[in-house]
């Protein structure tokens, strides 16, 4: 009996290792049409693609046009040689920045660029949307290194605090250690045991991080150290290349919408300490940015002030209204 149990454990371990490694190979049909592995940033968008996705609910139907330019950014226009009067803002982030939007022009990056150019005819402001789904702190550092050749004057990271800390540990080179594989397996089994109503919630946009730190509270410290380590490297790289560094802190719907937060707490029977995990990590992260004198903007008060929906009902990404609000906020708050 003991031998069979050991054999089962070994099989489960190698199955999970394969599952983890296969994600980073980007060979699945869904990944391969949009992503390519990259030795510096881990993975990036394919350049010059034009795809359409249809998704949503009867109440929120959506047809998304995913278009990338010659370097793989979510831009309609190609990037060419930097002009004398051009000020470049390189932006990155995860899928919230990449944009769950119908058109590239609806992203906060492109709306911000439009506002800047409308207000100042003496310069050409080129805000480049390099957001990529799944990105976290390791990717942000690699992305900056990869695209420094574009000569950005500003580097803005839109950190999504709903899952960037959880994913920070997943993207490290030791991700197939016994400890990490065990944690990954446990979270997968936990997800499979959810009720149909629980499974209807978009798992990765804030909820998974809450459940992960409920199961593994000691991971908070480790993941925060990973995040801070990459931010320090980004800060140093920016200083060396005379790039202005700015961080925006984007909250999840869980931390913005009180009714949704209460629904999740009741549905998953979570205590208040668990519900505070994302906010706790966010505050620690902000205190770190303050200590390191890294310019940052917390977007939570902005989104909380909205009188209309700022997240999609289905997948919980920020919607076009949120992108408009963030663009207006950046235009008013940041002097370039």
DSSP 187-221: HHHHHHTS-HHHHTS-IIIIIHHHHHHHH-TTHHH
Share of the chain above pLDDT 70, in %: 97
Domain count, the chain: 1
Looking at every residue in the chain, the average pLDDT score rounds to: 94
- Which position has the token pair 């002009």? 83
pLDDT of residue 285: 98
Alpha-carbon distance of 169 to 240, in angstroms, equals 27
Residue 170: give its domain's CATH number.
Answer: 3.40.50.1110
CB 251 within 8 A of CB 303: yes
Which residue range is the domain that position 79 belongs to?
A: 2-333
CB 247 within 8 A of CB 154: no
Asked whether residue 57 carries a pLDDT value surpassing 60, the answer given is no
The per-residue pLDDT for range 133-152, each reduced to its tens digit, is 999 999 999 999 999 999 99
Q: Of 317, 322, 227, 217, which Cα lies nearest the Cα of 276?
A: 217
Asked whether residue 178 carries a pLDDT value surpassing 90, the answer given is yes
Task: Locate 124 and state its tokens.
Answer: 């050409």
Alpha-carbon distance of 264 to 43, in angstroms, equals 32
Question: CA end-to-end span of the chain, whole Å?
Answer: 68
Asked whether residue 28 carries a pLDDT value surpassing 90, the answer given is no
Asked whether residue 112 carries a pLDDT value surpassing 70, the answer given is yes
Task: Determine if the pTM surpasses 0.85.
Answer: yes
DSSP E strands in the chain: the ranges are 35-38, 42-45, 50-56, 61-67, 86-93, 124-129, 154-160, 244-250, 295-298
Alpha-carbon distance of 207 to 118, in angstroms, equals 39
DSSP-assigned letter for residue 271: -
Cβ neighbours, 10 Å, residue 186: 13
pLDDT, mean of residues 267-284? 96
pLDDT of residue 193: 93
Q: Which residues pair with 67 in a beta bridge?
A: 50
Kindly tell me the sign of the dihedral angle through the C-alpha atoms of 291, 289, 229, 179: positive
pLDDT of residue 63: 66
Asked whether residue 231 carries a pLDDT value surpassing 70, the answer given is yes
Alpha-carbon distance of 269 to 256, in angstroms, equals 19
| 28 phi, psi to nearest 5 deg | -65, 155
């Amino acid at each position: 009996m003991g031998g069979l149990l050991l054999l089962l454990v070994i099989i489960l371990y190698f199955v999970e290792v394969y599952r983890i490694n296969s994600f980073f190979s980007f060979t699945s049909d869904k990944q391969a049409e949009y992503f390519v592995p990259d030795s510096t940033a881990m993975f990036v968008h394919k350049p010059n693609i034009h795809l359409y996705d249809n998704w949503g609910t009867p109440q929120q139907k959506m047809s998304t046009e995913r278009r990338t330019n010659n370097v793989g950014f979510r831009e309609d226009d190609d990037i060419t040689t930097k002009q004398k009067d051009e000020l470049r803002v390189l932006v990155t982030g995860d899928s919230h920045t990449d944009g769950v939007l119908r058109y590239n022009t609806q992203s906060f990056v492109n709306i911000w660029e439009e506002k800047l150019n409308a207000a100042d005819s003496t310069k050409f402001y080129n805000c480049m949307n390099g957001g990529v789904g799944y990105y976290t702190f390791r990717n942000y550092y690699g992305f900056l290194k990869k695209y420094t050749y574009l000569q950005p004057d500003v580097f803005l990271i839109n950190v999504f605090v709903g899952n960037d800390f959880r994913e920070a540990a997943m993207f490290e080179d030791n991700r197939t250690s016994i400890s990490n594989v065990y944690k990954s397996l446990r979270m997968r089994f936990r997800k499979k045991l959810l009720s149909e109503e629980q499974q209807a919630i978009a798992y990765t946009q804030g909820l998974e991080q809450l459940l992960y730190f409920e199961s593994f509270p000691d991971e908070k410290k480790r993941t925060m150290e990973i995040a801070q380590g990459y931010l320090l490297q980004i800060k140093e790289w920016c200083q060396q290349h005379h790039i202005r560094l700015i961080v925006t802190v984007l909250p999840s719907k869980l931390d913005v919408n009180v009714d949704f937060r209460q629904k999740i707490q009741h549905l998953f029977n979570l205590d208040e300490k668990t519900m505070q995990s994302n906010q706790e990590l966010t505050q620690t992260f902000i205190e770190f940015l303050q200590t390191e004198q890294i310019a940052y903007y917390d977007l939570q008060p902005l989104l909380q002030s909205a009188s209309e929906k700022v997240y999609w009902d289905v997948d919980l990404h920020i919607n076009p209204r949120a992108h408009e609000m963030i663009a207006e906020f950046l235009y008013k708050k940041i002097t370039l």
